[in-house]
Amino acid sequence: MEVMSTLSSPPSSASPDTPRLDRSRHAAPQVLDYLREQIISLRLPPGSVLSRQDIATQFGLSQTPVRDALIHLTEEGLVDVFAQHKTVVSRIDVQAAQQAHFLRRSIEKEIARVLASQSDPALIKALEAIIASQQHALEAENYEDLIGNDRGFHRRMYDAAGVPDLYALVRRNSGHLDRLRRLHVPVPGKGLSVIEEHRRIVAAIASGDPDAAMRSVEKHLAGTLSWIDGVREQFPDYIIH
Is the residue at 199 inside a domain? yes
Is the residue at 9 inside a domain? no
- Euclidean distance between CA atoms 46 and 237, whole angstroms: 8
- Euclidean distance between CA atoms 90 and 80, whole angstroms: 6
Is the residue at 20 inside a domain? no
Is the residue at 223 inside a domain? yes
Domain span including residue 58: 27-89
The CATH number for 31's domain is 1.10.10.10
- 46, 89 in Cβ contact below 8 A? yes
Question: Is a pLDDT exceeding 60 seen at residue 69?
Answer: yes
pTM of the model: 0.86
- Looking at the fold, whether 32 and 131 belong to one and the same domain comes out as no
pLDDT tens-place string over residues 146-186 = 999 999 999 999 999 999 999 999 999 999 999 999 999 99
Residue 23: band (very low, low, confident or very high) from pLDDT cuts 50, 70, 90: confident
Domain boundary among 40, 72, 89: 89
Is the residue at 219 inside a domain? yes
Domain boundary among 74, 89, 104: 89
Q: Which residue has the higher pLDDT, 105 or 83?
A: 105
CB atoms within 10 A of CB 203: 14
The angle subtended at Cα 88 by Cα 96 and Cα 100, nearest 5°, is 15
- Looking at the fold, whether 113 and 81 belong to one and the same domain comes out as no
Domain total of the chain: 2
pLDDT given for residue 17 in this prediction? 58
Domain boundary among 37, 57, 89: 89
